[in-house]
Structure 1
Amino acid sequence: MKSYEKVVGIDVSKETLSISVYDGKSHTSYETRNTVKSFFNDFIKKEKEIDFSKVLFMMENTGVYHLRLATHLSKECGYLVSVANPLVIKRYSQMNLKR
């Protein structure tokens, strides 16, 4: 399994992608349309200093809305992608009494 230096969390909706980059110390956020082209033009091309081969892309299973991006990042680009079950996230936040 690959190791990673940063985590890119992506909140996926039908129309938009809310992107959060975390390196263990600092956090940066972006928002773009939910298309592979917009993701690459508005995020990947702007973050030239990030080695995306050392990044974990994390997103929640959103029915069909996450599939295009998750598949492209994983299969076409060879990046490490993790798709979480939304129920697991909900239960985790309930355990910690947070939302």
Structure 2
Amino acid sequence: MCDSSEVQLWREDLDAAITAGFEASGATYGSPRITRDLHEHGWRVSVNTVAARMAELGLVARVRRKPRSLTRSGRRPAAPDLVGRQAVNRIDSELAGTQPPLMP
């Protein structure tokens, strides 16, 4: 059985490894990714253990921001319609009530 001082030393080493991985990621990695990195470095630890240690250390990953659209509506007028299309917001009258053919 492990001595409590051994467990304490193991936790300190684990905390140092978790903190190093977290800071190396720019504070963006959460417990699953940190756990994967620790496994690559030879640690045998579960995701739940890493999550608990991160919570105790106060390490919270930044939420990924949703990518912003490159086009911003309302910034400039729409391009002129050079073809002369008619915008239709209803079902085409020719296709209304018909079914697509069934495949044999």
TM-score (norm 1): 0.24
- Identify, as 1 or 2, the structure richer in strand: 1
Q: TM-score, normalised by structure 2?
A: 0.23
Higher relative contact order (CA 8 A, sep 6+): 1
* Structure with more helix by fraction: 2
